[in-house]
Structure 1
Amino acid sequence: MGHREDLLEGAKKCLVEKGFVGTTARDVVKASGANLASIGYHYGSKDALMTEAFLALIQEWGDQFTAKVKGDGGSLERFRSVWDGVHAGHEESGPIWAASMEVALTRDRLPELRALLAASQGEGRKGLVSMFTGVPEEDLTAEDLRTAGAFYQALLNGFMLQWLFDPASAATPAELTEGMRRAVAAMARTAPSAGE
């Protein structure tokens, strides 16, 4: 591996162990074996490196179970299967989700980092919509990402926040799926008829 890859691996390690706020550039250098100047050379800033490390960790997390997702796109079976995968990896992904919550809660104290993470939300939404619907990422529209993507992202963030706050009372995949079934059934009962 070169310095760029070493830095990324070191940043991923620091992110899991110390979070965004607790990680310094020197921590990344120590974990990677690279030198301090190489952060700026390869990534522009420590925050840009940490953002890339976060995105890489999220991608690795999703890759662990995406291939195992079952069911037709948009089905309750697929919905449940995705949540089974999310739930199965929640122990390992806890530090990653805690780091993202950490940045969200810093409000305006880390503006560069927040801006970098906000810019990456589209990619995250794209992966989520594809995972839940089975539609290839390249076939998704901007509207898909703004609607379904935002919806799935809100569910995912809510699930992880429940788990981080109190794992014992967090919803299970079966409960989330039943909740979705009930919500859809209630909406179908109250939907206006075609002539209205």
Structure 2
Amino acid sequence: MGHRERLMAGAKRCLEERGYARTTSRDLAAAANAPLGAINYHYGSKEALLNAALLEAVFEWGERAMPAAAGPGEDSDRIEALWSRIIASMKDERPLLVATTEAFAQAERAPEIRQQIADAMERARPRLAAQLHGEEMADDEETARAVGSVHMALVAGLTQQMLVDPERTPGSRELAIGLRAIARSLEA
């Protein structure tokens, strides 16, 4: 394994153990058993390496939490079961969720971080819609983006609730009840 791969693996470990805000360049180099200069050589900056590692870790979390793609149709029981898996995985991924929240805070003052995160979120929207509602969702780009955006907002909101008050964070059943009530209100 070369420096680039070791740096990525080390950055993921640092994010889990130290978080985004507390990880230094020296921490990254030590975790990768690589020279300090390898960070800038391979990634351009400590922040670029941390962002790449964070985005890869979030993508891997999504792969673990959700199956490849849903089958056709809008089976509410299936969607509720998928949300149950996502919510359960949040409990296991607390260090990643904390690191993500720290990165979002850093993005306010670092346009390059904000752009990387924004681009990753935009790519994830249609994928999230397809995973939860089926591949046919991707046929209508506007709807896929909107549905993916709603699910992304739910993930973000549940993440914040999970970090602050894990015992009272809504479960998939409560989420489904709320979404059904909102949908009825929109239809009225």
Written as runs of structure 1 = structure 2, the 5 A alignment for 1:58-69 is 58-67=58-67
| 1:41-80 equivalences in 2 (<5 Å) | 41-67=41-67, 72-80=72-80
Q: How many residues align?
A: 188
Cα offset, 1:145, TM superposition: 5.4
CA contact 2:72–2:136 (8 Å) conserved in 1: no
Match of 2:174 in 1: 175
Alignment-derived partner of residue 151 in structure 1:
150
CA distance in 1, matches of 2:62, 2:104: 21
For 1:118, the equivalent position in structure 2 comes to 118
Contact persistence 2:72–2:134 (CA under 8 A)? yes
| Structure 1: tracts of 5 or more residues without a match | 191-196
In structure 1, the partner of 2:95 is: 95
Amino acid at match of 1:28: L
Give the Cα–Cα distance (whole angstroms) in 1 for the partners of residues 144 and 25 of structure 2.
34
Alpha carbons of structure 1 residues 107 and 18: separation in structure 2 relative to 1, 3 Å: same
Instruction: Find the aligned partners of 1:70 and 1:130 in 2 and give their Cα distance.
Output: 7
Deviation at 1:108, TM superposition (A): 3.1
Aligned to 1:160: 159
Q: Is contact 2:17–2:95 with CA below 8 Å preserved after alignment?
A: yes
1:122·1:145 contact (CA, 8 Å) conserved in 2?
no
Amino acid paired to 2:99: A
The one-letter code matched in structure 2 to 1:172 is: G
Letter in 1 for 2:48: A
Using the alignment, how far apart are the partners of 2:144 and 2:73 within structure 1?
16
Match of 1:186 in 2: 185
Deviates further, 21-30 or 83-92? 83-92
**Separation in 2 of the partners of 1:181 and 1:117?**
30
Instruction: Indicate the percent of aligned positions where both proteins have the same amino acid.
Output: 34
Displacement of 1:73 after TM fit?
Answer: 4.3
Q: Provide the C-alpha distance between the structure 2 equivalents of 1:24 and 1:81, rounded to a whole number of angstroms.
A: 39
TM-score by length of 1: 0.84
The range that moved more, 145-154 or 49-58, is: 145-154
Does residue 11 of the first structure (1) align with residue 2 of the second (2)? no
5+ residue gaps, structure 2: none
- Alpha-carbon contact 1:69-1:85 (below 8 Å) kept: no
- Which stretch shifts more, 144-153 or 6-15? 144-153
Tell me how far 1:50 sits from its aligned partner: 0.9
Give, as a single letter, the amino acid of the residue that structure 1 aligns with 2:157.
Answer: G
CA RMSD of aligned residues (A): 2.3
**In the alignment, residue 38 of structure 1 is paired with which amino acid?**
A
Letter in 1 for 2:134: G
